[in-house]
Structure 1
Amino acid sequence: MTWKLGIIGGSGLYEIDGLKGEWVGIETNFGSPSDDLFIADLNGQEVVFLPRHGRGHKYTPSSINYRANIEALKRVGVTDIVSLSAVGSLKHRYAPEHFVIVDQFIDRTIARPKSFFDTGLVAHVSMAHPVCDRLVEMAYDAAIKTGVTVHKGGTYLAMEGPQFSTRAESELYRNWGCDVIGMTNMPEAKLAREAEIPYVTVAMVTDYDCWNEDHDNVDVTSVIKVLHHNSAAAKQLIKNLCEAVSGTQRTPSPHDFALDNAIITAPSARDPLMEQKLEVILRRVGANTK
């Protein structure tokens, strides 16, 4: 199997020297994704970009159609997802302009559909290890080569937003041992697991949230300023990833088989309409998996 990387991130990540492609509109069984997909070739490696908030940043973290985004990437054959996200730091050691390759999440979102599965077809996938170890190593190596300061491993607290944290919340999450805070990687990571697509988050630190009295409280202006600085490193990271997998054969990941033993609804009790709605998600296991 060949690699086909899916890149979820901000607008402009697809503006990379040598990248050639086109925007393709995709409709899913869960509605429209945030934007068309930019399906492209970068020096011989196929890659698919999806602006998480839509070009021009149209969608709030809560209004993003996460299910459509992940299903759209699944529809076009993406094998692995790399999510690039702006985050706030909850620890001194993670400074603005640093990158963190996340390996754990705490999900505090409350207003978003979090599963493809529903009444009539129920599944429980494991999220004990929410990211792919292989992609963590690849993303870390790719980040190192950009020259950015990068940390391997860290816990991402996903908050609902769109407001930033209160100081009490920020201190609570620090006491929980969280490392960074963001608004977009849940339920994205959960849905990628249900879709059997290995996933990794590259968290790009823009600020210290509001706990650090030695720094100004986070605001949009400061976030955008640091994001612009991180943009070149993020694009180079993508190029490095593509170079690493170009021309190589992809071996299976354990996450490619996440639905094995996860579907609990008996075949005789399954809703045919749900089976039809989940045809893309169930592509490998088939609708009649026991």
Structure 2
Amino acid sequence: MATTQRHQPAAEIGVIGGSGFYSFLDDVEEIRLDTPYGPPSDPLAVGTLHGRRVAFVPRHGRDHRFPPHAIPYRANLWALRSLGVRQVLAPSAVGSLRAEYGPGTLIVPDQLVDRTSGRAQTYYDSGAAVHVSFSDPYCPEGRRAAVRAASGASWPTVDGGTLVVIEGPRFSTRAESRWFAGQGWSLVGMTGHPEAVLARELALCYTPLCLVTDLDAGIETGEGVTMQEVLRVFGENIGQLRSLVGEIVGALPEARPCPCPDVLDGIKLPLELP
């Protein structure tokens, strides 16, 4: 893998995921860069996949050194955009809040609830008040391509659902889990926010791909969620998930017919976007 310090548009699609995705790109070049929000989690790997130029950033760092609440989310999204990325796929491991969505189920949610605290979740925290539309937090075209690709791969897939994002790094108590389920929410994770809203503030298309690794504490009996179980199920599915991401990359439209590119129209921004 070559390493470069160059800072130039190099990719059109970004993937934010785990270290298991390093091997899914061809002709990989490693790009080190900095941002106004510090360096991203690690150097970005840029290569080719299904004829498209793709940039990959490991969400937690290669050595998994960043816990969910300490991930440099702003730097990661800014770095992707600075390389030319305009569409982002975000695979992640999640817990299920519904018994029928067992481990191995893939869910492409359409809604998000933020239960984090203290995370920097905007680029526009000074200079001017900027309010972006976030009623529908995910790209409709990206979601459509993801569901279609997963169905074509015969992967049991749920189209829609609500992801509640907790602060972490601890898992939920049984009482919290039951409360989340009682609200009608489908999934619980630790990394989907502020990624989605930061992508929206940069006028990027953002599509989550949620792999269920466990039933959450209020749904499961026994000892509840363990890190060992999460890693085991994720490891069993990483190859299939990696292949699916490739199929979705190939299916994403080159032109963006969705509302995402236009969310900042008419807004006077207090900073210049890359």
**Same fold per TM (> 0.5)?**
yes
Give the aligned residue type for 2:259.
P
Q: 2:150 aligns with which of 106, 124, 143?
A: 143
Pairwise CA distance, 1:119: 2.4
Superposed, which structure 2 residues align to 1:11-22 within 5 Å? Answer: 11-16=19-24, 19-22=26-29
Whether the 8 Å contact between 2:34 and 2:79 is mirrored in structure 1 is yes
Matched, 1:168 2:172: no
- 3-state secondary structure, aligned to 2:216: coil
Deviations 1:184-214 (A, max 9, x none): 0101100000000011111000001101244
Corresponding position of 1:105: 112
Aligned to 2:272: 279
Distance 2:266 2:115 in 1: 27
Q: Is the 8 A contact 1:82 1:201 kept in 2?
A: yes
Q: Matched residue of 1:56: which SS?
A: coil
1:151 aligns to what SS in structure 2?
Answer: strand
Asked if 1 retains the 8 angstrom alpha-carbon contact of 2:95 and 2:216, the reply is yes
Deviation at 1:121, TM superposition (A): 2.2
Instruction: Please give the per-residue CA displacement for 1:46-78, whole angstroms capped at 9, x wherever unaligned.
Output: 111110001021101011111101100110010
Q: 2:259 corresponds to which residue?
A: 254
On the 8 A contact 1:86/1:206 being kept in 2, the answer is: yes
Query: Which residue of the partner structure matches residue 159 of structure 2?
Result: 152
Give, as a single letter, the amino acid of the residue that structure 1 aligns with 2:218.
Answer: W
Distance 1:43 1:178, change over 3 A: closer
TM-score calculated relative to the size of structure 2: 0.92
Distance 1:165 1:214 in 2: 14
SS of the equivalent of 1:62 reads: helix
In the alignment of these two chains, the number of paired residues is 265
- State the shift of 1:12 in Å: 1.6
Aligned 8 A contact 1:145 1:240 in 2: no
Q: Is the 8 A contact 2:140 2:258 kept in 1?
A: no
1:152-211 residue CA offsets vs partner (Å, 9 max, x unmatched): 001000000000001110011011111000000101100000000011111000001101
Deviation string for 1:251-288 (max 9, x for gaps)?
A: 4421111112444x8xxxxxxxxx4xx322xx5xxxxx
Helix, strand or coil at the partner of 1:158: strand
What amino acid is the match of 1:14?
Y
Q: Which residue of 2 aligns with 1:269?
A: none
SS in 1 for 2:46: strand
What is the CA RMSD across the aligned residues, in angstroms? Answer: 1.8
Q: Is the 8 A contact 2:177 2:219 kept in 1?
A: no
How high is the TM-score relative to the length of structure 1? 0.87
Q: Give the match for residue 118 of structure 1.
A: 125
Please name the residue that 2:230 is paired with.
223
In structure 2, C-alpha distance between the alignment counterparts of 1:243 and 1:189, rounded to whole Å: 22
Unaligned runs of 5+ in 1: 266-274, 284-290
SS in 2 for 1:253: coil
The answer on whether the counterparts of 1:140 and 1:150 sit within 8 Å (CA) in structure 2 is yes
